[in-house]
Amino acid sequence: MILLIDCGSNKTKFIEEIVDNYCDVMSVPLLDVTVDHLQGKSGVILSGAPILVTEMDTTPYLKRTEWIKTTELPILGICFGHQLVGLHFDAYASRMREDRDWQLIEAFEDCILFNRLPNEIEMMEDHCESISIPAGFQLVASSDACVNEVMQHTEKAIFGVQFHPEVSGNHGSVLIENFVNHCMHSPFH
């Protein structure tokens, strides 16, 4: 079972629909999530949110997700979820030009998220902030609009994507499926 942390995006239901094709999914609102929700799960996905991390106090969100730094479960952060993961590992967020359109994403490092995908894929964006590459992570993919489109932890199965694969057609669905498959075959399953 995958734990889907609903951070408030209107796109979260599409993540749930994709994951539900491959395994059970439990959706919990971000501010309700506790470490107990991790028990018996194979992995965690953090959704996007209508929240600007450069303009709000992120402390309540960071407190609710402190376990990100210590869990052994695979994690996929999407948009706000990607930024939240980065903030836990000392990334800094900055404003950028608003991007609410398709972008060509180029992957230049091996990453399980890109299994069965070409190195260049178009994904739908919906953000006006980006994060730096946090300590312990490597940059996997970039676009002309945003440097940190995809990152992965160098030692743990923690991934972040700035774009929204859940509304990016077949390639986006494959990316989420790749994460779910990794979770289902991890030692915690």
Q: Which of 88, 153, 164, 182 is catalytic?
A: 164
Q: Which of 125, 149, 166, 177 is catalytic?
A: 166
- 8 A C-beta contact, residue 146 and residue 101: no
Tell me the pLDDT band of 189, cut-offs 50, 70 and 90.
Answer: low
Domains, the chain, with CATH or none: 2-184 (3.40.50.880)
d(CA 18, CA 41): 17
Query: Going along the chain, which residue ranges are E strands?
Result: 2-6, 25-29, 43-46, 75-78, 93-99, 102-107, 120-124, 127-131, 137-142, 150-153, 158-161
Provide mean pLDDT across the span 6-14.
Answer: 97
What's the pLDDT score for residue 44?
A: 98
Q: Which of 7, 79, 146, 183 is catalytic?
A: 79
Residue 37 among the catalytic residues? no
Encode pLDDT of 19-28 as tens digits.
999 999 999 9
Provide mean pLDDT across the span 164-185.
Answer: 97
d(CA 26, CA 20): 9
Residue 153 has pLDDT above 80, yes or no: yes
Percent share of the chain, pLDDT over 70: 98
Percent share of the chain, pLDDT over 90: 96
Closest Cα partner for 45 from 7, 73, 3, 87?
A: 3
Residue 164 among the catalytic residues? yes
What's the pLDDT score for residue 186?
A: 76
Encode pLDDT of 53-64 as tens digits.
999 999 999 999
187/67: higher pLDDT: 67
* Residue in the structure block whose two tokens are 């990316």: 175
Residue 166 among the catalytic residues? yes
- Name the pTM for this structure: 0.97
Provide mean pLDDT across the span 98-105.
Answer: 94
Closest Cα partner for 83 from 129, 126, 14?
A: 129
Encode pLDDT of 128-152 as tens digits.
999 999 999 999 999 999 999 999 9
- Averaged pLDDT of the chain: 96
Residue 187 has pLDDT above 90, yes or no: no
What's the pLDDT score for residue 167?
A: 97
Provide mean pLDDT across the span 94-104.
Answer: 94
Tell me the pLDDT band of 188, cut-offs 50, 70 and 90.
Answer: low
